[in-house]
Structure 1
Amino acid sequence: MTKFGFALAHLQSGRYEQAIEWADEALIQKPGFINAMIVRTAACGHLGLREQGRVWIERIHQAAPTLTINAIKDFLSVFFVPEALACQVDGLAKAGMSPQ
């Protein structure tokens, strides 16, 4: 499993601190990896780290200026069961990402 895979698995399992650690490792390997940024941001949201989450939202928007929660939801709904998708979407919302 890749470092990103571990980050995603920890996020889905509610181990948000570990999700951040693995997302950081994935981002060291590939700094512009938006999916790792999304997982990291969602974990920040679930942990109530809104300031840190906002920093990562800005980084996501630098790489993909028009990316919103709804766009992420539409794309990921093909790959994730509703509960797994909700974990990412809810975390992003808690971090302060705009739905639209």
Structure 2
Amino acid sequence: MQINGRLHLLVKNSSKFWVNISAKAGVRNYAVAITETGTPELKAALREQLNTAIATHEKITNYMISRGFYHPHNLSEQLQFDLTVSDTALKLAEK
């Protein structure tokens, strides 16, 4: 694979990874906010937002799985994928 192809793969995978991490953080933040909120109306609004954030995270995760970027049920495949991406990043840094 050429350097441009490797760079494209690295950027593509990296951006999807960070989008997934951000979606997961949103779920976590809404859950914490619900536990810190005192009014029933605000709790209800936050629960709606939490459900939306969970659905968004699920869509992102399913997309990543369908494209072969994420292997949550196969640690050896995920490890190999991560090592390949890391190796690509190191090779690009050497150039």
TM-score range, shorter chain: 0.3 to 0.5
Using CA pairs under 8 Å that are at least 6 residues apart, name the structure with larger relative contact order, 1 or 2: 2
Considering only CA atoms, is the larger Rg found in Structure 1 or Structure 2?
Answer: 2
With normalisation by structure 1, the TM-score equals 0.35
